[in-house]
Amino acid sequence: MLTMISKSGEVDRHPKDALLKLAESLSDEYQPVVGPLASRQAELFGIQAKRLQGTPSDVFRRPSYQSDEAVVSAEIFTKGDTLIVIRLVEYGRQRPVRNEEGKLERREEVIRLVAVSYAAPKIDKEVTAEFELHVKKIWGVELRERVTSPRKLEENAPLGRGGKAEVASVEDVRGAKALSDKSSRALAVSIKSSRGLLLSDAPKQIPPKDKGRLNEIVRSLIEAGIVETEIVVICSSTSSQVNKIPSVEVLQEMDRRNVRCSCGNYLSAERAEEALNITEHGKFMLDGSRWLSVLVLQGLIDLGVPIENIRMEQEYAGEEVDCMAEIYGKLVLFELKDKQFNLGNAYSFGAKVGIFRPDYPVIVTTEKVGSDARRHFMQSAQSGKRRMYYSKSDRSGAEGMVFIEGMGNLQEGLEGLVSSIAIEAFSPHVQSALSFSMASPGAILSAWAGKER
């Protein structure tokens, strides 16, 4: 698992040997990477490191992944499971100013930034705070997180019907987790469709292998507020249900008030059985498989995706979209299915992928992605007619599609997805920093030519 955070701060200048001073100020727990690699390179060539460092400044100057800025120096540090890349960046910017005659003219100015990126399975705020304290001592700047607007999301999916996603309530998350169990969900659906179910009939509604878990399943649904218990009074003469009562206490109160069955008996004299009924909250969570949407939304938030970067259950250009998110600058389109994902679903999702052109198309299903659907995605990509619809890398074995099959794999699948995107986003930072660990061939040969004989 990998997550990342990028921060930066604008400075007036980069002090001489700033990165060297930073490395010296840090504790031994911080291990530099670029400096030692460059020194080892000089050692392997038999060149004095200071002669290599004394070559022209542009020897180690590398353009960054952004065309309008240049990384003038960089270093990589490791501390525990946290990887830190610090880059000293410069870029030119034109700004309008008035000359002595009062006319507007554009002047070039150089903007200098200290850019720091962290990558770890889970970002440690103590590590970031400690590192940034040392950065502040060298450059005198407070680093701020580089939060960019979800540009791709806004361009491809402006707010449709339903508005932005909202953080799920504790009650919704608890209910969704209870319903993520297949047998619990089957029982809840049966209770909802039958408008109530005798507890004695409940074992018939779950798979045979889970009948021994019946008490556990019922308890979890009650605790999550999905179902509730009640007392059903069954007439001894007609064997029909004549009343539903919340509790035994209410039954006794009805006897005191002389309420009787249609056959004339007191209700307490008739057969009474415990039954299960769906709650309003349970109906809400089951309708449209909202429980699955809640789990995916909460999973993305737990992995650091801002709620502002997520859209849930909206309609764009006549297409219903279960979930769309922008993660580290990549557009991700989710299709959620509380059943097997079949060929018909594949055609529908393929159309959505063609419209929105996501970087990562993701299918989340409680069952499996059928072989016919997999074959469709493979054939579509191989034919070349829809190759542009799918991401470049084969992430799932079906030409760029990401498959998350079964609720037991949901968390791992989302972690793998976010980690893949984080690696893709963080790699340019590492690449630009590592370029400073190796001098250009010309610099090496110049130092070699100047070796003392």
Q: What DSSP string describes 161-215?
A: TT-S--PPPHHHHHHHHHHTSHHHHHHHHHHHHHTSEEGGGGGGGS-GGGGGGHH
Give the whole-angstrom CA distance, residue 377 versus residue 390. 9
Q: Which two tokens stand for residue 115?
A: 């850019």
Query: What pLDDT is recorded for position 69?
Result: 63
Give the whole-angstrom CA distance, residue 191 versus residue 275. 10
| Predicted confidence band of residue 411 (pLDDT cuts 50, 70, 90) | very high
Query: What pLDDT is recorded for position 67?
Result: 46
Average of per-residue pLDDT across 100-108: 74
Phi, psi of 283 (to 5 degrees): -60, -45
- Judge whether 373 and 342 are in contact, CB under 8 Å: yes
Give the whole-angstrom CA distance, residue 360 versus residue 417. 9
Give the whole-angstrom CA distance, residue 259 versus residue 439. 95
The more confidently predicted of residues 104 and 288 is 288
CA–CA distances in Å: residue 2 to residues 78, 331, 401, 428: 14, 18, 20, 15
- Judge whether 19 and 410 are in contact, CB under 8 Å: no
- Judge whether 323 and 311 are in contact, CB under 8 Å: yes
CA–CA distances in Å: residue 66 to residues 53, 56, 89, 92, 108: 26, 23, 11, 12, 19
Q: Three-state SS string across 65-81, please? A: CCCCCEEEEEEEEEECC
Torsion (CA) 158, 161, 164, 168 in degrees, nearest 10? -150
- Collapsing DSSP to helix, strand or coil, 348 comes out as helix
| Predicted confidence band of residue 158 (pLDDT cuts 50, 70, 90) | low
Query: What pLDDT is recorded for position 233?
Result: 76
Tell me which amino acid residue 123 is: I
Average of per-residue pLDDT across 1-21: 92
Reference 68, options 89, 85, 97; nearest CA is 89
| CA angle, residues 30, 144, 136, in degrees to nearest 5 | 50
Mean pLDDT estimate for the chain: 84
- Chain CA centroid to CA 133, Å: 29
Query: What pLDDT is recorded for position 378?
Result: 83
Query: What pLDDT is recorded for position 235?
Result: 77
pTM higher than 0.85, yes or no?
Answer: no
Give the whole-angstrom CA distance, residue 226 versus residue 205. 16
Give the whole-angstrom CA distance, residue 153 versus residue 163. 13
Q: Which two tokens stand for residue 153?
A: 């999301």
**Region of poorest pLDDT, from 51-55, 80-84, 260-264, 411-415:** 51-55
Whether 254 shows a pLDDT value over 80: the answer reads: no
Q: Which two tokens stand for residue 207?
A: 């798979």
Whether 391 shows a pLDDT value over 50: the answer reads: no
Q: Which two tokens stand for residue 355?
A: 């419209």
- Chain CA centroid to CA 157, Å: 18
Phi, psi of 238 (to 5 degrees): -105, -10
272-304 residue pLDDT tens? 778 899 999 999 999 999 999 999 999 999 999
Chain length of the chain: 453
179-208 residue pLDDT tens? 999 999 999 999 999 888 888 889 999 999
Most confidently modeled range among 124-133, 232-241, 394-403:
124-133
Query: What pLDDT is recorded for position 261?
Result: 72
